[in-house]
Structure 1
Amino acid sequence: MKTTTAILAALGLSLCATTAMAKDLHVLNWKGYGADEPFATKAFEKMTGDKVVNDFFNSEQEMLTKLRTNPGLYDVVMINAAFMQQALDEKLVQPIDTATIENYGDIDDAKAKSKMLNVDGKTYGVPWTWGLTTIAINDKAFDTPPTSIKEMWKPEHKGRVTIRDDAVEAVQLGALATGQNINDIEDMDAVKKSLADLLPNIRTFWSSENDWNQMVASNQIDLGTYWSGSAGRAKVKFKLPVSLAVPKEGAVGWLDTFAIPKGSKNVEGAEKFINYMLSPEFYTEWDETVGAPVSASNKAVAALPADSFNRKVMGAPEIAERVQFQEPITDEQREEYLKLWQSLKVGAN
């Protein structure tokens, strides 16, 4: 009896200790972007005992503002690699000990070694997913998917096109349409004219996945710019008539990473969370039941069915050749893009 009592007491102490060690894990990300999926939250909390507390943003600038105004609140933040330098300049994130992240070794080597994420021998961002900002279509409007980005400019789509209300994305769209490199735009006048010519075709601008999905669900649009992972979710999760069309002129590529904000109160939990987000177990369920962008983990992608979109299409060499990955832009460039975009929108009203 004494032995049984001692064992129960020990178990009780162990459970109390586990409960005491459990912490909140504050995650800042886009809403509906993997990290807040109920299955993922449930699995991670069961695995670690920590409680996931999600917060969301609708733009990278809002994300940076939340980090600035809430120092020490967040433990994990999703940062587009092109915005990492801005976060570093403002000392909003801290170095990550990648040795504590078991699945880090499965990340595509080129992405893991990105100069945008590694500075002075320290790693500040762990590559998580990548994808495209390109054309998505309403299947009801096309017998065959378009092959050119200039489809958006055709008069038969007047009032039936949508693009995101984001100055950088708009300018990069104009660069692709005029045959220019999105990271080295030499003719801004051509970009401005191209976007001005597009405006009569635009029904409205979107800012969230829900905006885009509602427009296609009510058959208000024929096509528009969209994120590849979002198009996948629209089809898989919401059963909408949406298909991705990567045009011959190219597509904007982006790399999303997880970082640990400076002052995190749960660094250990953050490392475990990032590790879980890179796991094949998480990724395959996310992709198959919800729809996801491409994992930065080669092992996670290899765990998908051979005919899956993120292996067969996104992994195709001919698609890779068309992708121009976003690089950081200066504050001066961002201001220039914003002024151009605002002047176009004012002129369109």
Structure 2
Amino acid sequence: MFKNTAFKNTKTQQAAQSFTRRGLLKSFAALVGTCAVSPLFSSPSVALSGELEVFAWQNYFSKEMISEFKKDTGIQLSVTSFDTNAEALLYLKATKGQGFDLVFPTATSLTNWYVAEGFLQPLDEKRLVLDHIQPTIWEKSSNLNTIYRGQRFAMPFSWGAEGMCFDSTVHDYKAGQVSWADQWLPENKGLVTARPHSALTTMALMLDGTGERLNMAYVNEEIAREVFGEALLFAIEHKSYIRQFWSDVEGLTSAFTQNNCVVGQAWDGVALELWKSSKSKFKFVAPKEGALAWLGTMAIPTEAQNVDQAYVLINWLSAPKGGGMFMSHSGFNSVVTEAKDRLDLASRDRFNFAFNDGAAMDNLNWWRPEPKWFQELREVYVRKYQAA
């Protein structure tokens, strides 16, 4: 269990207590030179009984979700948003872990929270209702940074994937049948879009076939060099297949809508929105080797004032109603098995096509916590790929 070293003396404690959440937000915005962290709904500086202070990603909570949660539980939510994992941790450091009862870090970022120490408290698993959590995701989460030194600090909440977006007037790809290798067939030469470091990862996965060596690469530098070296050779051989690299939502969208790409690696949320806006011209599918996936979590800060209410929200979001409302509102996927059943019919059909009626969820390749040496090494190969 972590030691909380934030309050070593009375002076420090008194100074911390003199802060207001509004003042800290103002100071934090000045510190990072932006107003990216902004309260969506006004709230007191200290959460009271029956209230809950939440620190979440932009667009995670709708007004309807907040209203329904209060109707179901009697608890009033106050939500403050952040844009990056680094912002969330920096803010909690600035407040000495105070101000919020529930935070939503991405699993891969939790290493930084653990290293910082004292900002998260271990979860009491007996208080978690797991009846509706997708079993494979719950099982895999134990190896995805949610457990530290034998204790669970984070509850799986959301997920997203990188699969293949394609022009359905050119290709007729289907989940369970299409391969990452299909992007690199001769008919797609000059018509592919990709995010460089993701492309190298899926090339490594494709060349490996099982993903075992790719998993070993995260902990063995020699194997990492071999894996990325092989992927780089393939990438350079097929560099002429790339029409456009992308790094953000705008770049990915324009690759298909403006630059005439017919296939490429894509985030599911962006691709599914393209599917909707293009009237099914562009579709999204998880390749049979498995889409790449990230995991979002829920965690309770050490200095949370309303721990009981935090568990109530965790379990509300882990049930079909809360998970379904989140999925419908945010566009991200919920770890709740039945959440997709709460989508409108068209959205549900798109999800079922993309993930093979849910079967593809058992074959996701999860982004893992990346040691600094791994990130730096991969970046070397990415630069060589882009410069080739």
TM-score (norm 1): 0.72
Matched, 1:51 2:78: yes
Matched, 1:149 2:149: no
Structure 1 runs of 4+ aligned residues shifted over 6 Å read 302-307
Shift in Å at residue 276 of structure 1? 2.8
Counterparts in 2 of 1:282 and 1:75: CA distance versus 1, 3 Å: same
Shift in Å at residue 280 of structure 1? 1.0
Q: What are the within-5 Å matches in structure 2 for residues 206-221 of structure 1? A: 206-208=247-249, 210-218=250-258, 220-221=260-261
Identify the residue that residue 5 of structure 1 maps to in structure 2: none
- Alpha-carbon distance in 1 for matches of 2:359, 2:164: 16
* Contact 2:51–2:75, Cα closer than 8 Å, also in 1: no
Identify the residue that residue 296 of structure 1 maps to in structure 2: 335
- Which of the residues 264, 276, 294 maps onto 1:224? 264
Give per-residue Cα distances to partners, 1:302-348, cap 9 Å, x unaligned. 76799755567636586356433333332221221122223433x15
Matched, 1:106 2:132: yes
3-state SS, counterpart of residue 256 of structure 2: helix
3-state SS, counterpart of residue 299 of structure 2: strand
Give per-residue Cα distances to partners, 1:92-145, cap 9 Å, x unaligned. 4321234444x4343244543524323445321111134432212233443555
- Which of the residues 148, 156, 159 maps onto 1:127? 156
**Amino acid of the structure 2 residue aligned with 1:342:** R
- Alpha-carbon distance in 1 for matches of 2:313, 2:278: 27
**Amino acid of the structure 1 residue aligned with 2:247:** W
Shift in Å at residue 275 of structure 1? 2.5
Counterparts in 2 of 1:67 and 1:235: CA distance versus 1, 3 Å: farther
Counterparts in 2 of 1:313 and 1:153: CA distance versus 1, 3 Å: closer
* Contact 1:77–1:258, Cα closer than 8 Å, also in 2: yes
Matched, 1:335 2:376: yes
Give per-residue Cα distances to partners, 1:261-304, cap 9 Å, x unaligned. 444455445433323322211333454576442x3233545767
3-state SS, counterpart of residue 255 of structure 1: strand
- Alpha-carbon distance in 2 for matches of 1:66, 1:204: 33
Shift in Å at residue 175 of structure 1? 0.9
Counterparts in 2 of 1:89 and 1:231: CA distance versus 1, 3 Å: same
Matched, 1:251 2:282: no
- Alpha-carbon distance in 2 for matches of 1:48, 1:237: 37
3-state SS, counterpart of residue 212 of structure 1: helix
* Contact 1:162–1:221, Cα closer than 8 Å, also in 2: yes
Counterparts in 2 of 1:63 and 1:230: CA distance versus 1, 3 Å: farther
Unaligned 5+ runs, structure 2? 1-46, 218-222
* Contact 1:50–1:269, Cα closer than 8 Å, also in 2: no
**Amino acid of the structure 1 residue aligned with 2:370:** I
Give per-residue Cα distances to partners, 1:165-191, cap 9 Å, x unaligned. 6x4x34422312322523124422111
Identify the residue that residue 103 of structure 2 maps to in structure 1: 77
- Alpha-carbon distance in 2 for matches of 1:64, 1:191: 34
Give per-residue Cα distances to partners, 1:49-102, cap 9 Å, x unaligned. 222222222xx566655655665355433333344344323324321234444x
Counterparts in 2 of 1:62 and 1:290: CA distance versus 1, 3 Å: closer
- Alpha-carbon distance in 2 for matches of 1:275, 1:287: 15
Say what the alpha-carbon RMSD is for the aligned residues.
3.9
- Alpha-carbon distance in 2 for matches of 1:282, 1:159: 44
TM-score (norm 2): 0.66
Tell me the matched-pair count. Answer: 319
* Contact 1:284–1:304, Cα closer than 8 Å, also in 2: yes
